Amino acid sequence: MFGINCFFGYNKIMKVGVVIIGGGPAGLSAGIFASRAGLNVVCFEKLAFGGQASLSYEIVNYPGFEAISGFDLAQKMHNQAQNMGVKFLMEEVVALKKLKNGFSVKTNKATYQAEKVIIACGLRTRKLNLENEKRLTGKGVSYCASCDGGFFKGKPVVVVGGGNTAVMDVNYLSRLASKVYLINRSETFKAGQFAIEKLKKLKNVEIITNANVVKLNGKDVLTSIIVNKKGKNKTIDVAGIFFAIGSTPNLDFVKFDLKLDKYGYIVVDAKMQTSEQNVFACGDIIGKNFRQIVTACAEGATAGNSCCGG
């Protein structure tokens, strides 16, 4: 097994047995199983260990916990993996390349060499790319309600989206904001009807369907938005806008061909093996019909075990 500190010439190249790219539930579970089997494991995460799961206000469908915050659940997973021997590094992987024997993993800080790789990097938040969207990000424009909702106590905000994330964001923000608008581009929602009916009962929530946000107004901070509904524009004064319009696979760092499905997700077999030998994938980055923390953990456990030849 590779040691963690090896030197070649004048460049420090750290060799490891298994590199995990992504520290969400899938990556943490993979680390627990691979490290428990005696493999030398390093897990890279560019933002926060726990991934998107750590941003959830409340999780009520993870076995063993009737209710737990995403942050607390992620912290428990991280601590368990660390106690198992997984080494964690806050570094962004910018290039994954094939070598004659193994793989080169380049981060924004160093270069590593791995025998096996588990891709568990999750998804990239989708944006509308509206005028002023980038400029006002962090100044009223947000992609994480549980992260930034506290900045808008007593102020009007809007959530854009029609899925489960959007519904969860509205529920959370309704406890903080003076008013919450939910804007969905179609008449129907991807979220369950029961959840939508529950939102309608909240006194400070207004649902607007068949509408699109077409402009963001504000010089230094967001002050209002323009919504187009059936060809007519309407200005709504808000202090914050939260986009919950989905995510896309984030695989720009992979510098060799992997088999992907028609939506850009990685294709894996029952062992989480990709089309490239010794490269595994798990979590939201793979093609599947059901995306939950519990399924990500199961896939991570399978990938970690597969690295041991299981």
> Phi-psi region for residue 258, left (φ > 0), alpha (ψ -120 to 50) or beta?
beta
- Percent of the chain, pLDDT > 90? 73
Domain with CATH 3.50.50.60 in the chain: 7-125+247-306, 141-243
Residue type, position 196, single letter: I
134 pLDDT higher than 60: yes
109 pLDDT higher than 80: yes
Mean pLDDT value of segment 91-100? 96
Residue 164: predicted pLDDT: 86
pLDDT tens digits along 240-255: 999 999 888 989 999 9
Identify whether the C-beta of residue 214 lies closer than 8 Å to the C-beta of residue 233: yes
Show the tokens assigned to 242: 């939260």
Q: Report residue 310's pLDDT band, with 50, 70 and 90 as the boundaries.
A: low
Identify whether the C-beta of residue 299 lies closer than 8 Å to the C-beta of residue 67: no
pLDDT tens digits along 150-205: 899 999 999 999 998 899 899 999 999 999 999 999 999 988 888 899 999 999 99
Residue 172: predicted pLDDT: 92
Q: Which CATH class is domain 7-125+247-306?
A: alpha beta
Show the tokens assigned to 9: 């010439």
In angstroms, rounded to a whole number, what is the distance separating the alpha carbons of residues 47 and 116?
23
In angstroms, rounded to a whole number, what is the distance separating the alpha carbons of residues 296 and 145?
22
Mean pLDDT value of segment 61-84? 93
Say whether domain 141-243 belongs to CATH 3.50.50.60: yes
Residue 102: predicted pLDDT: 96
Q: Which has more confidence, 222 or 123?
A: 222
Residues making up the chain, counted from first to last: 310
Mean pLDDT value of segment 16-45? 96
